[in-house]
Amino acid sequence: MGEFEVPAGVDPYTPSVARMYDYYLGGKDNFAADREAAEKIIELLPNVREIARENREFLIRAVTYLCEQGVRQFLDVGAGLPTQRNVHQVAQDLAPESRVVYVDNDPIVMTHARALLAENARVIAVAADMRDTQALLDRAEIHEHLDFSEPVAVLLLGVLHFIPDDDEALKIVTALRAPLVPGSHLAVSHGSIDTVDKDRDRKGQQIFSRTSVPGTTSRNPAQLAAFLDGLEIADPGIVSLSEWRPEINLALPTPGGVGAIGAVARVI
Ligand SMILES: C[S@@+](CC[C@H](N)C(=O)[O-])C[C@H]1O[C@@H](n2cnc3c(N)ncnc32)[C@H](O)[C@@H]1O
């Protein structure tokens, strides 16, 4: 058990990738089972904490860039537990009218997001599984909050690697892109390990098979490009996260770690 009360609907004994990610980032919203699974992943992938930090920094730069492009609506799928500088804070600091929908299928994310967002009328949290993409897109509260006749940025940050099947991942992305009008954007970040060691991968899958997700997979830039096919990929293209527009926020350290790639692309 963890150090805080277990919210209703939350299973503290099954490791949750949302809480494991919180642990990598140094957060406190995690239980013993999460920390144990996360430590096993750290043994297999020692720079996983650095990857998590780089991913959050990529999120900040990508949302900043999207605001600069005039985007004021964000659909953040696989939003994760609130941490420092969440999407709505980055966007609303630059453009206070920005509207954000956080989507996640983990009950703990919903509990925390709803508490945090209770006083921010421009942000809502929706519990949904992106694998049932049509049901997600049909949710009335999303359409009450976002106007799909105007540009929307769909964020898929650190989440598609939890859909190991390539066809299923492409189906999800294609469905999420379908309602987007020109000027909308898709931002993606994804685990990407140069050489996947088979033994390490098997051990990793064993750990993930006992968590809140079915498994995990690494994808290379060409595989990520398939998700962005037909979109206009912003410079510098599909690159290692720390290489994506580091000039947007020079105040943040760019450790240059490897292990994840990302891109932002525009609907034309
Ligand atoms: C590693 S965290 C990433 C959080 C945040 N997007 C970021 O980049 O910092 C992945 C999140 O995706 C969520 N997730 C995993 N599979 C999902 C699914 N099928 N539908 C919705 N959310 C999912 C997890 O619960 C977790 O909160």
How much of the chain is helix, strand and coil, in % rounded to 5? 40, 15, 45
- pLDDT tens per residue, range 197-228: 888 889 999 999 999 999 999 999 999 999 99
CA of 245 to the centre of ligand 1 (A): 23
Q: Is 56 near ligand 1, meaning CB less than 6 Å away? A: yes
CATH of 47-197+214-266, one of 1.10.10.10, 3.40.50.150, 3.40.50.1240, 3.50.50.60: 3.40.50.150
Q: Is 109 near ligand 1, meaning CB less than 6 Å away? A: yes
227, two tokens: 């998700």
Q: Is 231 near ligand 1, meaning CB less than 6 Å away? A: no
- pLDDT tens per residue, range 95-142: 999 999 999 999 999 988 888 888 899 999 999 999 999 999 999 999
**Cβ neighbours of residue 64 closer than 8 Å, sequence gap 6 or more:** 90, 94, 248, 249
Band (pLDDT 50/70/90 cuts) for residue 1 is very low
From CA 213, how far away is CA 107, in angstroms rounded?
13
- pLDDT tens per residue, range 169-203: 999 999 999 999 999 999 999 999 877 788 888 99
From CA 6, how far away is CA 26, in angstroms rounded?
19
Question: Would you list the domain boundaries of the chain?
Answer: 47-197+214-266
pLDDT recorded at residue 2: 47
Q: Is 213 near ligand 1, meaning CB less than 6 Å away? A: yes
Q: Which helix (H) or strand (E) holds 43?
A: helix 32-44
- Going by alpha carbons, the residue nearest to atom 10 of ligand 1 is 159
pLDDT recorded at residue 247: 84
CA of 18 to the centre of ligand 1 (A): 6
pTM above 0.85, yes or no: yes
Band (pLDDT 50/70/90 cuts) for residue 19 is very high
pLDDT recorded at residue 194: 76
The answer to whether the CB of 98 falls within 8 A of the CB of 67 is yes
131, two tokens: 């694998």
Q: Is 108 near ligand 1, meaning CB less than 6 Å away? A: no
